[in-house]
Amino acid sequence: MIWEQVLEKFKEVFGGEGDIRIYFAPGRVNLIGEHTDYNGGHVFPCALTIGTYAVARKRDDKKLRFYSMNFEKAGVLESSVEGLKAEETAGWTNYPKGMIWAFGEKGMKAEQGFDLVLYGNIPNGSGLSSSASVEVVTGFLLKDLFDFEVSNKEIALIGQFAENRFNGVNCGIMDQFAIAMGKEGNAIFLDTADLSYEYAPIVLKGAKIVISCSNKKRGLSDSKYNERRSECETALSELQEVIGIETLGDLTEEQFKQYQSAIKDEVRRKRAKHAVCENQRTIRAVDALKKNDLKQFGALMNESHISLRDDYEVTGTELDTLVEEAWKINGVIGSRMTGAGFGGCTVSIVEDGAVDTFIREVGAAYEKKIGYAADFYVVEIGDGPARLA
């Protein structure tokens, strides 16, 4: 069991006495609906069985002591529950700190500190939401250690608030929601306009979900993420001059065609086109899945990638290579970049019999073209956060 090793590490670093508790929160992969969650559109992510393990023990004073098994060289990092602010040198600890701060802002102030050891088996910076996973596991353990009354949905919203206001990334709600609300075997069809959602069973008879990790690192804040978001906001306000909508997600493709000339800049028009079409594609994809039409679902995943490549321009050579090589393999049902883009991962649905060929051939072509290797993971859809012991 992984958590037993994390517990051992906790005892080694912080001692084994007292009320030590163990938690887990998953990572996530988005199957379709990319860059729609801050545009009032739909997303279709699922939680994974890989994620973040946390072992924690409440303290009597205000001290915070953090240790990550993923960054062992950094050793124990200390701070206090008072006066928390994000610091560039604080690295990963900005995520748990952001949650403690955000809980305080929402009227749930932790009056004491705690000792924390984390271990994540989500590849770092891969676009599988390792940071949102740390946020949600921290929210979950804060609730449990301090007896706060807070639902998983609220933990997701507080996670987004922490990311936006503490860490300065203007992300949408998808990652924290997918993680906090995850359900084994199901993806979540979420309407980000009002947070209504529905679980959809993912029954891939004879196929698997394969993640290809480009190993090109990406930091959300240094990426063009915030820029894309503001381009969409400007496009929306231009459209609002001619049609009464609240978000780009309110538009059908036909309406977009009719009103797009209100957007005065060609680049912004492309960004808005992606947001509108990707939202409609996501609705259609879930519909196809409900009808067991996996072929159509895969075709829509492929269209999603093309739109992210050509109109939203968030892919890059690494992700395009992974996807374009995947499309060449017999038995690939669909393949696209997933997450924010600019590096990170792709998600593919691959027939069982083609998985080995996929990993071998996409891997070889990628290394030849890019100069370093990609990593591949066959993943399972898991549950949301839990206390393990």
- Active-site positions read 175
Smallest distance, ligand GLA to C-beta of residue 42, A: 11
Q: Considering only residues 120, 139, 159, 172, which one is a binding residue for ligand GLA as defined by CB under 6 A?
A: 172
Interface with ligand GLA, residue 278, by CB under 6 A: no
Q: How many residues does the chain have?
A: 389
Q: Which is nearer to ligand GLA, 56 or 232 (CB)?
A: 232
The residues in 290-349 that bind ligand GLA, with binding defined as CB under 6 A, are 339-340
List Cα–Cα distances, 54 to 121, 143, 173, 271, 324, in angstroms.
12, 14, 22, 38, 38
**Count of other CB atoms within 10 angstroms of residue 91:** 13
- Cβ at position 319, least distance to ligand GLA in Å: 13
SS3 of residue 249 by DSSP: helix
Type of residue at 274: H
Residue given tokens 């071998």 in the structure block: 360
- Nearer to ligand GLA (CB atom), residue 34 or residue 351: 34
DSSP H or E stretch at residue 280: helix 266-290
68 phi and psi, to 5 degrees?
A: -115, 130
**Which residues make beta-bridge pairs with 334?**
349
In sequence order, which ranges of 26-170 are alpha helices (DSSP H)? 94-105, 130-146, 152-165
Longest dimension (CA), the chain: 67
Q: Is residue 26 at the binding interface for ligand GLA, with CB under 6 A as the rule?
A: no
Considering the rule CB under 6 A, would residue 35 count as an interface residue with ligand GLA?
A: yes
Q: Which is nearer to ligand GLA, 38 or 101 (CB)?
A: 38
63, 84 Cβ separation under 8 angstroms:
no
Compute the CA torsion angle 130, 197, 260, 340 (nearest 10 deg). Answer: 10
Among 37, 135, 318, 383, binds ligand GLA (CB under 6 A): 37
**Is-contact 110 98, C-beta < 8 A?**
no
Where are the extended beta strands (E) located within 257-364?
A: 332-338, 345-351
95 in Cβ contact with 167 (< 8 Å)? yes
Count of residues touching ligand GLA (by CB under 6 A): 10
35-43, 50-58, 256-264, 269-277 -> range binding ligand GLA (CB under 6 A): 35-43
Surface-to-core class of residue 193, CB atoms within 10 Å of its CB (0-12 exposed, 13-18 middle, 19+ buried): middle
Q: CB-wise, 34 or 383, nearer to ligand GLA?
A: 34
In angstroms, give the least distance from the CB of 235 to ligand GLA.
16
Q: Is residue 175 involved in binding ligand GLA (CB under 6 A)? A: yes
In angstroms, rounded to a whole number, what is the distance separating the alpha carbons of residues 134 and 25? 7
Site stretch for ligand GLA (CB under 6 A), options 171-179, 202-210, 287-295, 296-304: 171-179
- One symbol per residue from 88 to 127: x for binding ligand GLA (CB under 6 A), - otherwise; what is it? ----------------------------------------
Looking at 33-41, 268-276, 328-336, 345-353, which segment touches ligand GLA (CB under 6 A)?
A: 33-41
Nearer to ligand GLA by C-beta: 158 or 340?
340
Q: Which of 22, 34, 139, 247 binds ligand GLA (CB under 6 A)?
A: 34
* Span from 10-18, 67-75, 147-155, 168-176 in contact with ligand GLA (CB under 6 A): 168-176
Of 47, 116, 141, 171, the one binding ligand GLA (CB under 6 A) is: 171
Q: Which two tokens stand for residue 289?
A: 């899945």
- Positions touching ligand GLA (CB under 6 A) are 34-35, 37-38, 171-172, 174-175, 339-340
